Amino acid sequence: MSTHLTSPDGTPASRLAFGTMQFGGNADEAASRAMFEACIDAEITHFDTAYVYTKGASETLLGTMIGAQRERLVIATKAAYDGGAGRDNILQSCEVSRQRLQLDTLDVLYMHRFDPDTDLHESLETFAELKAKGHIRYIGVSNFAAWQVMKAIRIAAEYDLSIDIMQPMYNLVKRQAEVEILPMCADQGVACAPYSPLGGGLLTGKYATGGSGRLTSDDRYAKRYGHDWMHEAAQGLSQIAEEVGTAPETLAVAWAAAHPAGPTPIISARSTEQLAPSLAALDYVLPEDLYERLSALSPTPPPATDRIEEQA
């Protein structure tokens, strides 16, 4: 069974998480607060940010909103995207994040990405130090390959720590996590909170009608989702959504949440209007035949052994 994250008062982390990457960027303070309140109304208890998001504005704004609800929320942030995963950088990042978020204790602190130039012993010994001080409760890794997570799990055990949560990319056109990451999380008891369930907005269908967003404003996203078959899959999703009378965003998020490993997709948006169809996935029951139809829109990645004939 996966780790079940709980808030300081024991409230379970919600079935979806909300990512505040847009706070202080594409979402101003008023739009950010409105989205936060919409999430609270929908009983979202898991909020995700990072030291680097919008140059600190994301953490700072989220910190002004937590308030009296703090004890029932799970607040996650990430360190060491820039500057390496050495001791000093992790400690400095964690301290700044605690100040911005106005929290004595961060519920989850992730290593934002794998650092090949720093010994994981140094990184995880630093996490052990932070946990012993009561500055963090859970330890996460983001953007790690499965072998890197297993290495972290082994080294963490030397410090009497566990890797509690993993954050990979996962959506209908980015399915690599199905090969090793999701099965590993299920096997090792690691919670999984995948990001980008809408594929940078691709799966909303907006780009097919001339809309703008990350794929038009960010070269990294344009490259990440640049294959023609991905855009064809998005069109197929929109057609199925219209057929079943549901928003494509609702189907895309529900699909990502329906994997047998039980992941907790991180939804995000720039406004409450944009957020609503993703929030609707909380209550959407995805029938198995519809799950299979949606899965058929994109290639199933081959198994790790590449012995496709053995695939169930």
The band of 214, judged by pLDDT with boundaries at 50, 70 and 90, is confident
* Structural domains in the chain, sorted by start: 1-167 (3.20.20.100)
pLDDT at 205 over 70: yes
Q: What is the mean pLDDT of the chain?
A: 96
**pLDDT of amino acid 312:** 66
**pLDDT of amino acid 10:** 97
**Helix intervals (H) in the chain:** 29-41, 57-66, 87-101, 120-132, 146-158, 181-188, 214-217, 219-224, 228-244, 248-257, 272-279, 288-295
**pLDDT of amino acid 1:** 38
For residue 27, list its beta bridge partners.
23
Q: The tokens of 252 are what?
A: 């895309």
What is the mean pLDDT of the segment spanning 41-47? Answer: 98
What is the mean pLDDT of the segment spanning 9-36? Answer: 97
CA angle 291, 295, 299 (to 5 degrees): 170
pLDDT at 290 over 50: yes
**pLDDT of amino acid 217:** 85
Contact 100, 63 (CB under 8 A): yes
The band of 3, judged by pLDDT with boundaries at 50, 70 and 90, is low
**pLDDT of amino acid 4:** 86
For residue 192, list its beta bridge partners.
166
Contact 54, 25 (CB under 8 A): yes
**pLDDT of amino acid 209:** 82
Q: The tokens of 198 are what?
A: 């809408």
pLDDT at 311 over 90: no
- pLDDT tens digit sequence for 55-76: 999 999 999 999 999 999 999 9
The band of 14, judged by pLDDT with boundaries at 50, 70 and 90, is very high
What is the mean pLDDT of the segment spanning 90-106? Answer: 98
Integer Cα distance of 199 and 215 in angstroms: 9
pLDDT at 124 over 90: yes
- pLDDT tens digit sequence for 216-237: 888 898 899 999 999 999 999 9
- pLDDT tens digit sequence for 257-283: 999 999 999 999 999 999 999 999 999
Which residues are within 8 A (CB) of 202 and not within 5 positions of it... i.e. 6 or more apart? 173, 215, 225, 230, 231, 234
- pLDDT tens digit sequence for 150-166: 999 999 999 999 999 99
Integer Cα distance of 268 and 280 in angstroms: 13
**pLDDT of amino acid 218:** 86
**pLDDT of amino acid 212:** 80
What is the mean pLDDT of the segment spanning 11-27? Answer: 97
What is the mean pLDDT of the segment spanning 31-53? Answer: 98
For residue 191, list its beta bridge partners.
165
